[in-house]
Amino acid sequence: MKVYPFRFNIYLTLIAALTLLPACHSDHDGKEDKQMSVLRVHIESNVDPAGTSQTVSVLRTDPVSFTVQKEPILTEANLLAARVLDAPAGSGFAVELKFDDLGTSILEQYTASNSGRHLLFFGQWGEKGTDGRWLAALLISHRMGEGVVSFTPDMSRDDVYRLVLGLNNMARTVQKGLMK
């Protein structure tokens, strides 16, 4: 029987070194992957006696009322990606949304035919979707044919990052479902 004490000592030393090294700890606990957000884009409309419109209030500090169609024109199902855009010198931020082909077509049609009206954005975010409200009203001044829209939301920076994280998670989930 042959004994290799030197080889045994190398293995023992490696095992001892690995157990003494501090373990990598990640703050990522999987909750971020599960967080989902909801986005609804509505178009401003006239009051409809048939009940297809509703009045909503946008902005918390100085509310402005708008009449919108109850049914959204776009949802998170039409979203490819969302991101936070920081203004120069840290003076603010905006949310940029990139829509899929169907969403791009819908956005182009509605913005081309509704100049002077508003796109209104409703969002829900948070662990259980408990945080939600009307976020912004964007004046339509031109046809938006690229499928990208940016708006400045009425929310804190922390909330906007949670909203965008949830929207991107939702977009990935929808895209995976379409690829199956």
Grouped pLDDT means (10 residues each) for the chain, 180 residues: 55 51 45 82 93 92 94 96 86 93 97 96 81 92 95 92 94 77
Gyration radius (Cα) of the chain, Å = 24
Looking at this protein, which amino acid is placed at residue 170?
M
pTM: 0.78
Q: Give the single-character DSSP code of 4.
A: -
Q: Please answer whether residues 53 and 45 qualify as being in contact, where contact means their C-beta atoms are separated by less than 8 angstroms.
A: yes
Q: Which domains does the chain have, with CATH numbers?
A: 36-179 (3.30.1360.200)
Backbone angles phi, psi at 144, to 5 degrees: -105, 90
Count H helices, E strands: the chain? 4, 9
The Cα 82–Cα 75 span in angstroms is 12
Q: What pLDDT was estimated at residue 111?
A: 96
Q: What pLDDT was estimated at residue 163?
A: 94
